Each structure stands twice: as C-alpha cells, then as structure tokens.
Structure 1
C-alpha cells in the first residue's frame, strides 16, 4: 500500500459535550443512524463515543485533503454523515464513504492514475478528557 495522506484529530470531550447535550441538530446532522445507535450501545459514555467518531471524521477530511495536495478542494462542503465510522463484530473501527464523498474519493484514484483503489485505515483512542483519531488514506495495489 502506498500512503496518500494522513490525518489526525483530537477532541476535548468536555468542550464537545455541550454540542451533544444541547437541543440543536448537531448530532443528527453529523452522525448516521448507525453511529448514533453504536454510541448508545452497552455501557460507557455516549459523548465519549461520539467524540471519537467526530475525531475520525475530521481526521479523514485531513487525510483526504493531504492526498489532494496541490489540487483545489473536491467539494465546497461535506456532509459529515457521508463519512461513517462503523465497527466490526469485535469493536474495530472502519470508515465507509457515501454519496458525493465516495464519488470524489473514487475520482481521486483515477486522477492519480492508481492501479488499485483508495483504502482507509482508522484508529480511535480515548484517554483522560480527550478523544483522538488517526486516518491513513492509501492506495491498494492490485497484483498482475
């Protein structure tokens, strides 16, 4: 795999909490139904889980931006629900892209003349009052 971009984001959970707790549309406008359901599942802190997912979305945007270095932004704005953090059956995160974001990332593979497709790797961590995520955007290589 060739690395195209890396993004890192850190979220102060105490500062993030009012956005989650208030009556605004922030949570619905930022997280998919699946992300909201995952944040509610099991024991633990919903705000902590959403902060980690928010950090992952922001880290993805930074990695995508780095992969587009020297090119203008692909989209004037991004619906953060188009960047979905999913968990496998063991709690490991991955990123699924939807809509215009998915189309533009696929288009970038063509623009860069990649032989494979663009893949994402994500890691989310929480410690103390901070949630952090790192995303690596890479190009898979096809054999043959």
Structure 2
C-alpha cells in the first residue's frame, strides 16, 4: 500500500455556526441525515458538525481538490470503538477509484474554538 493523498483542514467553529445560521439549507447540502444525529438520536452540536465539515474538506484535498464532488457523497461516521471513518459513494467514490484509493485514515479534533481533520487516502 502507498499513500495517494493527504488532506488537512481546520474550521473555526463560531464562523461555521454563523454560516449555517445565515444560509438556510446549507446543513442539508453538506451532511447526510446520519451525520446530523448522535447514536442516541439527539442532534449533533455545532462543533461536531464543524469537524465533519473539516473532514470532508480534508478528503477533497486528499483527492487533489477535483471539481464536481458532492458533499453528501462522503459520510463521516464513528465506529463503536470511537474511531472516525469515511464512507464514500457517487462522485467521491468515482474519483477515489480513479486514483486507486483502497482505504481511508481519518483523525478528527475540536478544541479552543477550532475543528480540525486529517484524511489520508491509501491505495
């Protein structure tokens, strides 16, 4: 296996919150319903959404920043162990396949008002 791409992104949580308040429908364009809810069924907080947005930005960078990717073609989820993962389909899966991506590595963090994510595409 070899590294095909690495992406990193940060999102200021307050700024992200302002964006989703200012732009009706933005949350639905960025996230799948499964990403909006905690395992308990409660709605995720803004920091949790901001870190998922950062992960999607990092994913796009790991793929070389190609145009035409749909945000909802990438799902950020967390395994029972607490490890974050990516599930891709559609436009994202097509670009990943074109580049030979076989697996993803994801790291998420949010602290001090900033959400950050690193994505490594491996093939």
User: Fold-level match, TM-score > 0.5?
Assistant: yes
Q: Rate the CA distance shift 1:23–1:137 in 2: closer, same or farther, 3 A.
A: closer
Instruction: Report the TM-score when normalising by structure 2.
Output: 0.88
1:84 corresponds to 2:83: no
1:123 corresponds to 2:107: yes
Q: Which runs of 4+ in 1 moved over 6 A?
A: none
How many residues align? The count is: 123
Shift of 1:108: 2.1
Shift of 1:19: 2.1
Query: Would the aligned equivalents of 1:20 and 1:47 in 2 still touch at CA under 8 Å?
Result: no
Residue ranges of structure 1 left out of the alignment (5+ in a row): 67-72, 110-116, 140-144
For residues 36 and 108 of structure 1, the distance between their equivalents in structure 2, rounded to whole angstroms, comes to 29
For residues 61 and 40 of structure 2, the distance between their equivalents in structure 1, rounded to whole angstroms, comes to 27
Question: Larger Rg: 1 or 2?
Answer: 1
CA displacement 1:66-100 (0-9 Å, x = unmatched): 7xxxxxx4xx3221010110111132210110112
For residues 4 and 40 of structure 2, the distance between their equivalents in structure 1, rounded to whole angstroms, comes to 34
For residues 58 and 137 of structure 1, the distance between their equivalents in structure 2, rounded to whole angstroms, comes to 13
